Amino acid sequence: MRDMIAQALKDSLKAHDKRRTGTLRLINAAIQDRDIANRGAGKDPVGDEDIMLILAKMVKQREESAKAFDDGRRPELAAIERAEIEVIREFMPKQLCEEDVKQACKRVVDEVGAEGLRDMGRCMSALKDKYAGQMDFSKASGIVKTLLQ
């Protein structure tokens, strides 16, 4: 994963793509920050799964920022945030469509043997293990809650 990001950064530098270069540098900085935090805690450097979580967090932050800019009538700034989201998503697994998310939630509820809302935590944990970076878990949580009621 790190190699893919590093190669993309080199390519964007050669192409003089300032927006893409800036976003890729932000990704590298976030990964290095997590590496430093892990080193201080005596842990190993981040792996691909942790990088996926970092990227998902970055996408979520930018989505919130874009919404705030839209609400504040600053569409040009919202467009910049959305452009960064597109660059970040290139390194994430393909997102599941809404129908696939519903199907995945149904399968997990059946696999876990969930009988009520008290089993929601187990269902969400199983979803996060199987579909890390592939779906919006806040939406999936609503679907699982509906299925368990």
What pLDDT does residue 16 have? 95
What pLDDT does residue 29 have? 95
Six-digit token string for 103? 């199907």
Q: At what angle do helices 120-130 and 137-148 cross, to 10 degrees?
A: 140
For domain 2-89, give its CATH number from 1.10.357.10, 3.40.1410.10, 3.60.15.10, 1.10.1510.10: 1.10.1510.10
Report pTM: 0.72
- pLDDT tens for each residue of 57-102: 999 899 999 999 999 999 999 999 999 999 999 998 787 888 888 8
Spans of all domains in the chain: 2-89, 98-148
For domain 98-148, give its CATH number from 3.30.70.1350, 3.90.1150.10, 1.10.10.410, 1.10.274.100: 1.10.10.410
Q: What is the mean pLDDT of residues 112-119?
A: 85
- pLDDT tens for each residue of 31-51: 999 999 988 888 888 888 888
Mean pLDDT of the chain: 89
